[in-house]
Amino acid sequence: MAMGSTTQKLTLTVKRFLFIVICGLCISCNGQAKPSGESRPPVQHTKSRSKNTVMKKFDIDEFEKKIKDNPEYEGYTTPDGTEITEYYRLPPEAPDLDAFDRSKVLAYTRIEKQPDGYQAAYQFNNKGNLTAVSYYYSTSLETGTWQQFDDAGAVVSEIDKDKEYAFGLPEVIGFGKKHRVDFAKTGRIKRGYDPVYKTNVWELRWAVDERGAAPYQQVFVLDGTTGKVLSEKKEGPPRRL
């Protein structure tokens, strides 16, 4: 699920996700940051997270052992089905390495993709210290409390991605399950301000292929505060979600 160096070949799926992670970690461009010099452990937004394990240190020794034993090392899957991706980044001007050399590394990344659709992306410096953490649901929905840290481990900025949505992601996931849809496996969730309804909304869509009927997309728009169904419609034919 990952690789040793970003200069090696990635699958298209991992490419897309890593692009999202890199863009997402520029948290100053989304929402209001909350500067803080307080030294404290990373926050996981428990309302949006099904698990509460925060990784504070990247084990460089263990990573080096794995990648030297297997130069094609791309991560692993835990017993509970969580897919782990681990890789390192070199400075932009650095040449490709024939073999892993920790003295040349700029940073490390670890991505944890849980079976329930939640994902966490951890960024570490070349000493293995945590510098940033971000959370997603499914492929690209930003959720949870994102943070950045200084070299001493103090929080320097944080954003609560769910702050404007009292009707939260867990409730949206529950709404999907009532309609026999598991958004961790299918469908798409989007959210944002809607100028028509003049409020933050959730847009949910999934493909429906009933026997004897033409397939279509089911679309719901929900109020981001109350969860009220603002609109319901069918679109078709289904396209890749």
In a domain, 117, yes or no: yes
pLDDT band for 99, please (50, 70, 90 cuts): confident
Among 25-34, 44-53, 85-94, 191-200, the range of highest mean pLDDT: 191-200
Based on the structure, what is the number of domains in the chain? 2
In a domain, 206, yes or no: yes
- Rama region for 153: left / alpha / beta (φ>0; ψ in -120 to 50; rest): left
CATH of the domain at 210: 3.10.450
In a domain, 148, yes or no: yes
Kindly state whether residues 52 and 154 are assigned to the same domain. yes
pLDDT band for 26, please (50, 70, 90 cuts): very low
Q: Which residues of 145-162 are buried (b: 16+ CB within 10 A; e: fewer)?
A: bbbbbeeeeebbbbbbbb
Kindly state whether residues 131 and 26 are assigned to the same domain. yes
Of the candidates 226, 211, 241, the residue with the CA atom closest to the CA atom of residue 175? 226
Averaged over 57-76, what is the pLDDT?
Answer: 95
Kindly state whether residues 133 and 99 are assigned to the same domain. yes
* Residue 239 pLDDT: 66
Q: Is the pLDDT of residue 47 over 80?
A: no
Averaged over 128-147, what is the pLDDT?
Answer: 94
Where in the sequence is the domain holding 216, given as residue range(s)? 169-235
Averaged over 94-106, what is the pLDDT?
Answer: 88
CB-based contacts of 140, cutoff 8 Å, min separation 6: 17, 20
Query: Could you read off the pLDDT of 223-236 as tens digits, one per residue?
Result: 999 999 999 999 98
Kindly state whether residues 131 and 180 are assigned to the same domain. no
Q: What is the mean pLDDT of the chain?
A: 82
Report CA 25 to chain centroid distance, whole Å: 10
Select the more confidently predicted residue: 174 or 1: 174
pTM: 0.77
Query: CA angle 71-77-82, nearest 5°?
Result: 135
- Rama region for 117: left / alpha / beta (φ>0; ψ in -120 to 50; rest): left
Kindly state whether residues 52 and 140 are assigned to the same domain. yes
User: Distance between CA 79 and CA 63 in Å, rounded?
Assistant: 19
Query: Could you read off the pLDDT of 141-172 as tens digits, one per residue?
Result: 999 999 999 988 899 999 999 999 999 999 99
* Residue 238 pLDDT: 66
* Residue 199 pLDDT: 97
Averaged over 94-103, what is the pLDDT?
Answer: 86
Kindly state whether residues 140 and 25 are assigned to the same domain. yes
Query: CA angle 134-228-202, nearest 5°?
Result: 30
pLDDT band for 96, please (50, 70, 90 cuts): confident
**Residue percentage of the chain with pLDDT more than 70:** 76
In a domain, 1, yes or no: no
Averaged over 186-202, what is the pLDDT?
Answer: 96
* Residue 139 pLDDT: 75
User: Distance between CA 183 and CA 203 in Å, rounded?
Assistant: 12
Q: Return the SS3 of 12.
A: helix
* Residue 175 pLDDT: 98
In a domain, 146, yes or no: yes
In a domain, 2, yes or no: no
